[in-house]
Amino acid sequence: AQSVTQLGSHVSVSEGALVLLRCNYSSSVPPYLFWYVQYPNQGLQLLLKYTTGATLVKGINGFEAEFKKSETSFHLTKPSAHMSDAAEYFCAVSEGGSSASKIIFGSGTRLSIRP
Amino acid sequence: KAGVTQTPRYLIKTRGQQVTLSCSPISGHRSVSWYQQTPGQGLQFLFEYFSETQRNKGNFPGRFSGRQFSNSRSEMNVSTLELGDSALYLCASSLVQPPNSPLHFGNGTRLTVT
């Protein structure tokens, strides 16, 4: 079974600083990988996804993630944090095979932005 | 285009009761997935429906069930409620089965079991 591990349940950065949220996955097949964001009292919103092709994926709101097969990682970055980025971020992977439609989520990383 | 609509938004039930949650997907979307979100367990996959058929199921007891109608709307039912069923239940729709199209989430139904 596939799994995803997010390192750090809470990350705090200053406004304007680099944002780095870490995600490692385990997958026995080429993975479909996703990052979602959840604002308080709302559902999740897709930030970006990796399926095949270019390993650097650009998403909405200035976020990007790089797929590194050798490191089984899919870390999320943003060059300059904004106050509006404060939210919870989830990395996710498709289960694959006959269970491909089952999307497994990590435990989430809460991002705080200091003024 | 309207997003995913979940009703009701909040629900309070008593142990032993049953509950039905509703999800209307984005128009044209044919797949609906359900998740349970709790502070301790995070997001747990419940099931996924496509073309009125359950295609995948998570590791939940049989008290959790669901269905999908011909218009792609979906319901999930929890019978014999337990205190541990208190959670935010999220529905997500996608154009075709994930992961070939991304999940679009509703704002959830917050269920409190007392």
Digit-coded pLDDT (tens) for A30-64: 789 999 999 988 889 999 999 888 899 999 999 99
| Average pLDDT of chain A to the nearest whole number | 93
> CA quadruple B53, B59, B62, B64: dihedral positive or negative?
negative
pLDDT band at residue A101 under the 50/70/90 scheme: confident
What percentage of chain A exceeds 70 in pLDDT? 100
Contact A114, A27 (CB under 8 A): no
What distances in angstroms separate CA A59 from CA A46, A62, A88, A105, B49, one per listed residue?
Answer: 9, 6, 16, 18, 27
Identify the residue among A103, A104, A109 best suited for mutation to test binding to B, counting B beta carbons within 10 A and taking the highest.
Answer: A103
Give the separation between CA B110 and CA B88, rounded to whole angstroms.
4
* Bridge partner residues of A92 (DSSP): A34, A105
Q: Give pLDDT, residue A11.
A: 97
**Which residues in chain A touch residue B33, judged by CB atoms under 8 angstroms apart?**
101, 103
More confident residue, A3 or B31: B31
Contact B42 A106 (CB under 8 A): yes
Residue A1: what pLDDT? 72
pLDDT of residue B14: 98
Measured in residues, chain B has a length of: 114
Give the Å distances, CA to CA, from B41 to A51, A108, B84. Answer: 27, 10, 11
Looking at the complex, report in whole angstroms how far the Cα of residue A46 sits from the nearest Cα belonging to chain B. Answer: 7
Please list the ranges in chain B whose pLDDT falls under 70. none
CB B78 within 8 A of CB B11: no
Query: What is the model's pLDDT at position A68?
Result: 94
> Which helix (H) or strand (E) covers residue B111, if one does?
strand B109-113
What pLDDT shows up at residue A65?
97
Place of tokens 């491909």: A100
What pLDDT is attached to residue A30?
77
The C-alpha atoms of residue A42 and residue B84 are separated, in whole angstroms, by: 21
Is residue A82 pLDDT above 90, yes or no?
A: yes
Res A27: pLDDT: 78
Residue type, B77: N
Q: At CA B66, angle to CA A1 and CA B12, rounded to 5?
A: 105
